[in-house]
Amino acid sequence: MPDDKSIRPAAYLAVGPRVGLRPFRYEDADEFTARARESRDLHRPWLFPPDDADAYAAYARRLIEAPDRLGHLVCERDGGAIAGFVNVNNIVLGAFRNGALGYGAFAHAAGRGLMGEALGLVVRHAFGPLGLHRLEANIQPGNAASIALVRRAGFRKEGFSPAMLLVDGEWRDHERWALTADEPAARGAGPGR
């Protein structure tokens, strides 16, 4: 776990009042996997972040090395502890300029508004320097906390896709939520901005 008292803004992609976003690093394995193990009850059955060193190494490698993904660790400004993650996956440029979000809070940080702040930072980065036009979040219908998070950030529900994604060995239904760069929430008018 981090031992310094506050995060150093220069090491972060973006910094808000309570969180900073920084890239995944291989050396984050111990803290990330410990947080994932502590958060199993919060995450299941929606999310299965890596909870051992080998799984983390493979996960981090995809986020660090793949050109179509950006992984962001959400770190608390007070102490630098990892509070969660927000990834932009399946980035497609050209005429589409789209990315798909994947995210999760760790149990010690859940319900504190940190992920809302982090999502706002990611949205601004995606629609600013990254140059995307659209972000989507595909969420299992029963995941009320995740739906509330994107709704507060200004995402709109676009539809429902049966058996859309393979999660924990089963094809699961998902609601499709999206936000485009030209919407007020994308320009900073939405909550958490």
pTM: 0.90
pLDDT of the residue at 11: 79
- CA angle at residue 124 from 121 to 127, to 5 degrees? 145
Q: Averaged in consecutive runs of 10 residues, what is the pLDDT profile of the chain (193 residues)?
A: 47 92 96 98 94 97 94 94 97 96 97 96 94 97 96 97 93 97 75 42
In whole angstroms, give the CA distance from residue 80 to residue 69.
Answer: 23
Give CA angle at 53 (52, 57), nearest 5°: 120
Which pLDDT score is estimated for 9? 55
Contact status, residue 108 vs residue 154, Cβ threshold 8 Å: no
Which residue shows structure tokens 């992984």? 71
Looking at residue 189, its pLDDT comes to 41
- The answer to whether the beta carbons of residues 124 and 154 sit under 8 Å apart is no
Q: Would you call 193 helix, strand, or coil by DSSP?
A: coil
Q: Are 74 and 35 in contact (CB under 8 A)?
A: no
* Ranges of H-type helices in the chain: 29-38, 40-43, 53-65, 114-127, 144-152
Cα–Cα separations (whole angstroms), residue 10 to 7, 65, 73, 123, 170 = 9, 22, 15, 20, 42
What residues form DSSP beta bridges with 35? none
C-alpha pair distances (Å), 15 with each of 103, 121, 125 = 17, 8, 11
CB 69 within 8 A of CB 58: no
pLDDT digits (tens, 9 = 90+) for 107-149: 999 999 999 999 999 999 999 999 999 999 999 999 999 999 9
Q: What confidence score (pLDDT) does residue 184 get?
A: 84
